[in-house]
Chains A and B, each alone.
Chain A
Amino acid sequence: MIISRQKEFKDILKTVELRNIFIIGCGKCAAKQHLGGEPEVLEMKKKLARSGKNVVGSTVLSSACNIASWDDVLNQNPDIKKAEALLVMSCGGGVSIISSVAEKAVYPALDTESLGGVCRDTIVLEQCGMCGDCDIWLFGGLCPVGQCPKSMRNGPCGGAVEGKCEADERKCVWDEIHRKLKSLGRLELLKEIHNPKDHSKRGRRK
């Protein structure tokens, strides 16, 4: 799941200078995080109206990043034609896909943070570093590229204090990697020296 967070409403107002706005929500990751589903879209509609904007309509697409036909979206939502701007309540993937098919000014309502997930109703951030070269099994299934702020692959830095990461409030993932590999009886994997990542494999377009 793509993890996003809500932009501050005042910042949205500042960027969307145009008056006639159509709001597009996303039924996938953004809806699951309560950031771009039906209730959030309706709430946004009210707030924009209160701030003097003319919301010409709204919809929640099943997935903002997966548009089979923009014509179909237009047919189902003819009010889009009246809009000068589209406010998209999805991750950057959805915003970009809609921008690429809609001949309108498109604005994001969310900030995209990381590739994470939801586990037992808890949103977990930054699970995968999207390095394009996955070898997560060497680390007990915990990605140090995504989960260590310094992306250290040969062990922890010296910055953690009592298991707490130097960079922010998270626990040091290296303690968890160690615990997991120990429980799997694979501690010898930690002795392996890992070469620098090949960043040319990252985010390559076909």
Chain B
Amino acid sequence: MRRLDPQSLGQHIDPMYRAAWALCGSREDAEDLVQETFTRVLAKPRIIRGDERGYLMQALRNTFASRFRTEQRRPKTAPTPDEYEPVDTRSPSLQRSAEAAEILRAISELPEDFRLAIVAIDILGLSYGEAAKALATKEATITTRLYRARQRIATAFPDVSQAQRSAGPGRSEPDRSLR
């Protein structure tokens, strides 16, 4: 057991942001979720056991559960077409970031248990044991959920070269509805 050092939290902002994005599916909500999580964590001195990132994952999950579920119940207005930000997909870096956004959004559409497992292990980089502790469940359960979450993601983003080898040309678009 040790005291959480607030100064060391800065290094976790990027992974927490990706994890939050994969949890809630939008960049803006991810920013809000990360800031809310850090605000809660820093509100008072914390004693932690084990890894800092595992503790932050737990805090992220709790904040997501308490705040974002309530918000999701509110009716939302869909943006009109001219409100979408144009993306210049000619730039390779923008292409990569558009792909990343699509992957994170796809993860956010998984059932919650699957989503949390893949976020904890593949996005945040926790060990299976740390993930199980952060998500208050058994390691075997986490592994099974992770396996199934990955199956769905792989189905939504098939390996084009592999698919072409096995199915030939004219293959239809993958189904990215993951629920």
The answer to whether A and B come from one shared complex is no
A: residues with CB less than 8 A from B are none
